[in-house]
Each structure stands twice: as C-alpha cells, then as structure tokens.
Chains A and B, each alone.
Chain A
Amino acid sequence: MNPVRAITGTMVPLDRADVDTDQIIPQQFLKRIERDGYGDFLFYNWAHTDDGTPSSDFIINSPDRRGAKVLVAGPNFGCGSSREHAPWAIQQWGFDAVITPSAADIFRNNSSFTGLLIVELPAEAVGRLMDVAADPAAVVTIDLETQTVAADGIEEHFDFDPTAKERLLQGLDGIGVTMTHDDVIASHEASRPSWLPTSVG
C-alpha cells in the first residue's frame, strides 16, 4: 500500500443512503483472481444501460467529473457484502477518498488496508459538501495528518482510528507489523485448550 497523506481534488456527489457493495461492484465482476481491473465496473448497473452503454445521466459518466478524487456519499455507505473489490473498484476508477456521514464496518475496515481514505463527518457537514460538490470544479482538501477537510468555506475535523491512520500515513504492511508480536502470538497459541477443533480431525 502506498502512503496516504493529503488528498486534494474535485468531488462527485452521490446523495443516496445505504449504498451497498453490490451496487459499488456487482457480483458478475467478482470472478477475477487479480486485485486490479475493477475500475471500469464501478457502480456498473447504475452507470450502464441494459445493453452495456454508459448511461449519460449517471454522474460518474459525466465528462466534467473525470479526474475527481473524492466521492461524497450518503449514510451507511458500503453496507452489505464484505467484498474488498468495492474499495478496489472505487480506487481504480480514480477516487482516493470517500466522505460520508457513516460507513459500514467491514467496508471501512477494508478501505483502511487498501488505502482508500474514509472520512466520516456529521450529516449536516456532508450535506454542505454535497452542495459545494454540485460544481464539478470545486476542490476539496483532506489532510489525514491533521484530520481535517477543507472546501469552499467549509472546515471540518474528523475522527480517525489511530492505528489505521499510522498504517495509511506510512503505507505499512500489516502482516509485517503483526509479526513483530510473534512471541506473544506463539505463547497465546501454546496456551489454547487442547480440545479446540482442528480441520485435520
């Protein structure tokens, strides 16, 4: 994962509540065994007509939204399936961050590993950002280090899990960090009751 520090860019407003990961990346695109190649399928069913033509009325297809870095979404964003393909698709389309009143637990967690910055702000602040984002040229800056969001007259602080923050800022390999605790893992392992199940019967 590449380090994530500050993100500055234009926005795409998606004013819908409870956007589930099936909408973010539909099931027919989960058959790949690679981590890449999902960007073209972001919000596929909303972004395409039945014959696969891009729908001109869906916002991410609008030419003036190309190059946007921040998705501004409604509450409970990323609910449903645990598919990590959802943050992959969002990032591979070009977004670096999602601003929402609330993200679903698994999606928020997954994003903290893929490097997609999830910023949770009060609904009222997200509403004001949505209004600003109506202008395709409006720019927002998210600074993870100071945990602030700034855009046209808006300045907001956001909470962020300190461990995830450290991981994102430094672009750490999670497994490497965990293995520095190998001795305690091994001692916990040795203390487990012998009757616990194993898959070898």
Chain B
Amino acid sequence: MSTPRTLFEKVWDSHVVVDSDPALLYVDLHLVHEVTSPQAFAGLTASGRTVRRPDLTVATVDHGIPTTGRSLGIRDPLSKKQVDALIQNCRDQGITMFGIDDPRQGIVHVVGPEQGLTQPGLLIVCGDSHTSTHGAFGALAFGIGTTEVEHVLATQTIWQARPQTMAVEVEGTLPWGVAAKDLILGIIAQIGVSGGTRHVIEYRGQAIRDLSMEQRMTICNMSIEGGARAGMIAPDETTIRYVEGRPFAPKGTDWDAAVAAWESLATDPGAGFDKVEVLDAGALVPHVSWGVNPAQTVPVTGHVPSPDSYSDPQQREAAVRALEYMALRPGTAIADINIDHVFLGSCTNGRIEDLRAAAKVVEGRKVDDRVNAVVVPGSMQVKAQAEAEGLSDIFERAGFSWRDAGCSSCLAMNPDVIPSGDRCASTSNRNYEGRQGRGARTHLVSPAMAAAAAVSGHFVDVREWQLS
C-alpha cells in the first residue's frame, strides 16, 4: 500500500522535475496577459532567449482594455502600448493569442476554463494572483510575478517551495439565496486575510461537491484573498461533464485516458492536512463587505461594526482607518447604506451563471435613478451566450449598461474608473482602498445581491426580496 496522498500532493508529485526544496516543477499551461508580461518578454529578448513551449502558452488581453467603443481602438496610449507589445511578442514567439477582436477574448481566468484549456491535474501559472481560479478543476494553479513569467517562458518550469496543506471542510447545504460568493466571503471571514499564507487549500465537503463548476471557480478564485498560495477542489462528475466537448479538451481515446487519470486525483482516504477549518454552509447568509479588505464583511442583516469589537490593536487601528476611508459610522445598518454604482463582472463573478442569477433578480424591475449599473461579461463568449438567452435584454431594459468583456472596474486599469467618494456594490474580489479608482468605496457582494442593490439604491437582503 502506498501512503495516502492529498489531491495537492498528487498534482505536485507528478510535476516534480528536480526533487529538492524548493522543487523545480513543470508547467503545463502558462496564461499570459498584457500587464505583467511585457517586461518578461523584453528580458527574454535581451538575453537572446526564446519561449520554450509556445504551444503550452496562451495569451489574452483583459486588464486594460476598454469595454465600450472598441471599434474606435484603445484610446489610452499606455494601455494601447501594452496591448501592442503583447501582439508583437506573441507574433514573434508563435504564441496563440485571443486578441481584442477575437470572439474568444475575455478575462484570462474565464477564458482558460471556457476553452477547455484548464483541466484537472494540470500545473497552471499566470502573472496574476487570481490564477487560483483554475484550482476549481483540481489543477494546481497559482499567480507569479514578472521575473517568474520570464522564467516560465524560457524554461517551462518554476521553482516552488513546497507549501503546507489546509483542508476547508464545508458541510451542509447552502441555503436558498446564499451564493458561492457568500460562502467564500464566509471562509475568508473565518480564516482571515492571511490565514492561508504558505498553504494550498483544498475545499471539501458536501456543500463543495454540490457546487457547479462556475460556483467552484468563484470559491477558488478568492483563495488568494485568504492569503493562500492556491485553492483546489477534487475533480468529479461535475468537472468531467464541464470539460467534455470544449475546444481544447481531449477527444476520442485521449478523452478516455484523461478521464481515467482525473478520476485518480481525489484525496485518498486517510491522507492528512497540516491544518483543517470546518464551516457549516447551512448557517451562511448573504455577506456585504464594509471595510477595505475582504475579511471585513458582515451579514446583510448586520451593522457596520465598531473598531472596539476587535481585540487585536492592529486590527482595531485598521478598522478605524477602514471606516474613515469608507465614510461609514459604526452601528449603521448595512441595509441603510446607499450606493452610486453597481459593477457586475470580474474573474470572480463574470460567468454565465452569475449573469443568470443577477438577471433573475432584475427581470421586470428598474435600476434606481441614483445608480449607475454596469454588466461586464467575463468573456465575449459569455456575452454572446447571455445575449442568446435574452439576459442582455433584461439588463438593458432595467437600465444596466451592457459591455464588452474584460477586467474593467474590478481594478480600474481601463476607463471604467469609479469616481472618488462614490460607493460601488461590486461582484469583484477586492475592496482595497483605491482598487476601483482613487477614493472609490467598494462593497463586495454576490451577483444577486448586487442586482438587488442596483434596483433598490441600497443594500437589501435578496432572500426576502425575491420571496415577496
């Protein structure tokens, strides 16, 4: 009998090229975008090197591109320069690129799964911290910096210190009206923004197995907000059904061989984790962030907390600063917070199921007059599908602006900047100061909660609202 191993250990072991600590690991898929790659390609060229495996590298544009008026081109000269550099670099190195006019263009973490490039058991890296998203398939996927991007381009490998393992066991069933976003915000509230540091999380338990692939991506996406190196979920029938038939998925006998390999990846009975956290999904409610990090959240039924509720002096001090930045007073009911903007999109919540959940809330209703509401699909394929399903009509009739795909207001590198002092209900992943624009105030919520807030002009408990 071999020693029982976790999902992470199996994927790690099968990628070890040099067995040391740190180990040299082979990279199966390297995803590239315009913002963190130009210096890497420049470094490669300067040292006379080339891309070792262009066929294991895929690029798209997402961070800085406009979501309106694309026929006019990219008007921001700096963003245009970054996109032009990526086009040239991909052309020079023979890398497949989903450019701004490609029907497959979209946010890198939406595109990989959608195209069937993201598969169980792979080692996936990208110069972007939300690469953890791909762990939803049972891949080991993590974000890297630009020097490492250059290293992977040149060698198709990466040095990694072996992380510790952490199991997040989620038992029970998510109640009606409580989304995967609320679950991951609940997990982060429990473990804290650095609870996962130096760890790879495996999300386990009935509540996780019950999730769709897109919901699992929402969970794994925000692993980094809990400080984790990566988040993973064991592949199962749900995973296999999702991958089957996608453009880059294995076909024929390759498919059978792949499925057999994927079915052996789940954590063995008896395998141990360095750390275990347990949550009851049944006790979860919709969350709204009130502060400037993703652990500063409360139930929608709750109130803005007092800094005195924190025993740690540094966290108390952080709460004081967060309240000042967010212009909130302790004790204010979350439902009494008025909003100016709604952003529906991002690699966390920009997929078709997210848009469906929001459209269901919006249907037959109108966006509040004081609110500027925007839908930015995660990819052009999500956009096309939403249009085919009539979701875009629902959003547009309600008063939402319907955009082209990209990262958009999640990080405001394109023109979709939230003005200083304005308050935004956002389905994205980070409520950091200035994240959506200098002085902008971000409240993280699920797609359904964002939609309900757009209609009401303030936060509402979507559970009550849909029942009435």
Contacts and interface: CB of A to CB of B under 8 A. Distances in A.
A177 B426 CA distance: 44
A175 B64 contact: no
Interface string B239-272: 0000000011110001101100100000000000
Interface in B412-438: 412-413, 420, 430, 432-435, 438
A35 B155 contact: no
B52 to A, nearest CB: 8
A185 B39 contact: no
Interface string B284-314: 0000000001000000000000000000001
Which of A28, A197, A198 counts the most chain B CB atoms within 10 A? A197
B55 A31 contact: no
Nearest to B153: A175
B320 to A, nearest CB: 11
B47 A175 contact: yes
A50 B440 CA distance: 12
A199 B57 contact: yes
A117 to B, nearest CB: 15
Interface string A40-56: 00000100001000000
Interface residues of B, number: 87
B256 to A, nearest CB: 9
B227 A22 contact: no
A185 B38 CA distance: 25
B81 interface: yes
A31 B155 contact: no
A82 B144 contact: yes
A88 to B, nearest CB: 9
Contact of A195 (B36, B145, B254): B254
A20 B145 CA distance: 15
Contact of A105 (B119, B198, B412): B198
A9 interface: no
Interface size class of A (residues with CB under 8 A): 35 or more
B149 to A, nearest CB: 9
A45 B155 contact: no
A76 B193 contact: yes
Contact of B155 (A33, A74, A178): A178
Contacts of B293: 18, 20
A31 B145 contact: no
A196 B28 contact: yes
Contacts of B332: none
A189 B123 CA distance: 13
B6 to A, nearest CB: 19
A81 B294 CA distance: 13
Contacts of B28: 192, 196-197
B157 A185 contact: yes
5 contacts: A27-B434, A80-B225, A81-B129, A110-B146, A161-B161
Given A174-B151, A178-B157, 10 more contacts: A16-B317, A17-B314, A80-B432, A81-B411, A82-B129, A102-B197, A106-B145, A110-B148, A193-B258, A199-B248
The 10 closest A-B pairs by CB, nearest first: A110-B145, A31-B78, A84-B145, A195-B254, A33-B38, A113-B147, A82-B143, A76-B194, A84-B146, A199-B96
Interface of B: 17-18, 20, 22, 24, 26, 28-29, 35-36, 38-39, 42, 47, 49, 54-58, 63-64, 76, 78-79, 81-82, 85, 95-96, 116-117, 119, 122, 127-129, 142-148, 150-151, 154-157, 159, 161, 163, 193-194, 197-198, 224-225, 227, 229, 247-250, 254-255, 257-258, 261, 293, 314-315, 317-318, 321, 411-413, 420, 430, 432-435, 438-439
